[in-house]
Amino acid sequence: MANDRHGDSHHETSSANFALASIALANALSMALRELSEALPDHDDAWLEDLRLTAIRDAKNAAVEGLPLEMEVEAIQFGVDVVGSVFDSALAERLHRRNRWQAG
């Protein structure tokens, strides 16, 4: 029974670490995209879509060693979803800034 508790504790710590790392990386990617977006012309979004497609392709091709196949598939899908969400947010922010600029 003590081993079960230790195993559960390790799993919870690993899950918490994974969640915090995911949040930190998503925030870092978001900040980098914001800075890049502000430095590039507002009229062209092709670079952002190209970067998004490359990032999603790379996330899909990630390998997670040591996990059962079902867990690996879920982890990869989670990564793809996070990357897609960050890029969707960056594009929405860029379009909002462009609309504000055009209206003003």
Q: What is the pLDDT of residues 44-100, one digit of tens each?
A: 899 999 999 999 999 999 887 888 889 889 989 999 999 999 999 999 999 998 888
Residue 39 falls inside a structural domain: yes
Q: How many domains does the chain have?
A: 1
Residue 13 makes CB contacts below 8 A (sequence gap 6+) with none
Residue 34 falls inside a structural domain: yes
User: How much is the pTM?
Assistant: 0.78
Residue 17 falls inside a structural domain: no
Give the model's pLDDT for residue 57.
Answer: 96
* Spatial distance between the Cα atoms of 68 and 40, rounded to a whole number of angstroms: 42
* Spatial distance between the Cα atoms of 17 and 15, rounded to a whole number of angstroms: 5
Q: Quote the domain boundaries for residue 40.
A: 25-103
* Spatial distance between the Cα atoms of 30 and 89, rounded to a whole number of angstroms: 8
Residue 1 falls inside a structural domain: no
Residue 20 falls inside a structural domain: no
Which tokens sit at 35?
């800075």
